Amino acid sequence: MSALLRETRFLLRDRGAVLWIALALLLSAAATGFGIVEVRDQRATIAMLLEEDARERKSALAGQEDWGGAAYAAFHLTYAPPSDLAFAALGQRDTAPWLHRVRILALEGQIHEADTRNADFGLIGRFDFAFMAATLAPLLLILLLHDLRSAERVAGRHDLLVATAGAARQVWLPRALVRFIGLSLGVMVPFWIGAGFEGTAPGKVVTGSALVIGALLIWWLLVELVARGKASPPVQLTGLVGLWIALALLVPATARALIEAHTPVPDGAEILMLQREAVNDAWDKPKAATMQPFLARYPEWQAWGAVDKPFAWKWYFAFQEVGDMQAEPLAKSWREGGLARDKAAGIAAFLSPASLVERGFERLAGTDSRATIAYEDRVRLFHAKLRAFHYPLLFREPPYDPLAFAKLPRYRPEP
């Protein structure tokens, strides 16, 4: 304890070290603050749209006179609210849509035409806590620890320090430990405060903290291995920054490029185009070309499947679904490709502590690829419920009664 107190006092007199720790605190506070502002903005957007959604649907349904028109006019809000840890790791919420307004038209196009609200910003990624802790904190740790020994050698104090202490570890271990603790607190305290504001589950906070501290311990070990050499401080710093560039930037980028090349995934626009072309072509095709595949999937509507008018809502919505059926292989490939890429990225992350921390946080926060795919599956499930609600009305064509819409399915986000 005495050694830690001694080194704490020493650290507080070392302006350079204090500056790096203060910078860590500042960056972490900024990243946490940005994250909280963003998720609160997202929650406010969802709350506002939920109110609008109910009001607009009521208004749209009020002017309708038949089941088809009502089904066509009604929009339904689907959304994935940010979790209690999303402020720390915005992850895929930057690049993948987390809310849609869907109708019972062909779905895949509706899923893939949605874009982030700020796609340009999404391209460069957001400065969130996970990025700060995974990528920037190790760099600050390197700056704090790289020259503990070598700077003392250059200053001619190394032997005096070790001879006075009796053993090298009695000098370097407490000194490095105090700096490690200082940096860890600088990084973690804003996160802990942010988690308090956001009401994050304690288990997530503990796991997230353990992830960051565990990764920083790995970096400390790497710094220690390099710092034990007799090279000068600039040479050691160059080597360690090179290692940081490799592990925090090059390995993830290379792994991503290799995974993307090895696991091709169709573009969302391809799915959108295919499905739209299928739907648009249906207008010009014989109605049987739509109804046959539709009724093959829904044999229960065979008795009501005849279309004897130039336009019928049941035919219109049937060719919407047939459009989805044609886009299904591509959509499935997109989904499975995404999961395969995610799995491969999970394995590759073991080569990079930075990737491991970011992925760990995104998993905990429910902002990773799996969460995005789970949300899209939830939208598909809800859309299927909408169809299940409307199809009996469209095919059996009972007398129009707007009171029936009181039983319209409501989207429920994942609890």
Partner 1 sequence: MTDVEPLAVTPALEAHALSLVREGSRVLDDVSFTVAPGEIYALLGGNGAGKSTTLLTFLGFLSPSGGSVQVNGREVGADVAAARGAIAYLPEAATLYGHLDAYENLAYFLDLAGRRVDRAALEAALDQVALPPEARGRRMQTYSKGMRQKTAIALALLRDTPILLLDEPTSGLDPVAIDEFHAMVKALAAAGRTVLMVTHDVYGACQVADRVGLLRGGRLVGSFEAGPQGRIDTETVHAAFAARGAS
Residues that bind partner 1 (CB under 8 A): 2, 6, 9-10, 13-15, 155-157, 159-167, 170-171
- At closest approach, how far in Å is the CB of 175 from partner 1? 10
- At closest approach, how far in Å is the CB of 160 from partner 1? 5
- At closest approach, how far in Å is the CB of 147 from partner 1? 14
- At closest approach, how far in Å is the CB of 229 from partner 1? 16
Q: Select 154 or 257, whichever has its Cβ closest to partner 1.
A: 154
Q: Select 160 or 258, whichever has its Cβ closest to partner 1.
A: 160
C-alpha closest to that of 270 among 327, 321, 322:
327
Q: Select 9 or 410, whichever has its Cβ closest to partner 1.
A: 9
**What would the two tokens of residue 210 be?**
């353990």
What backbone torsions phi and psi does residue 110 show, to the nearest 5 degrees? Answer: -65, -35
Angle between helices 369-396 and 313-348 (to 10 degrees): 170
Q: Select 1 or 403, whichever has its Cβ closest to partner 1.
A: 1
- At closest approach, how far in Å is the CB of 156 from partner 1? 5
Give CA–CA dist 20/4, Å, rounded: 19
Give CA–CA dist 388/269, Å, rounded: 27
Rg, the chain, Cα only: 29
User: Which residues partner with 102 through β-bridges?
Assistant: 76
Q: Select 6 or 332, whichever has its Cβ closest to partner 1.
A: 6
80 to each of 40, 86, 90, 252, 344, how far by Cα in Å? 13, 11, 13, 27, 25
For residue 79, give the 3-state DSSP assignment: strand
- At closest approach, how far in Å is the CB of 100 from partner 1? 59
- At closest approach, how far in Å is the CB of 167 from partner 1? 5
E strand or H helix that includes residue 102: strand 99-102
135 close to 354: Cβ distance less than 8 angstroms: yes
Q: Select 10 or 121, whichever has its Cβ closest to partner 1.
A: 10
Q: Select 166 or 398, whichever has its Cβ closest to partner 1.
A: 166
Q: What size, in residues, is the chain?
A: 415
For residue 358, give the 3-state DSSP assignment: helix
User: Which residues partner with 78 through β-bridges?
Assistant: 100
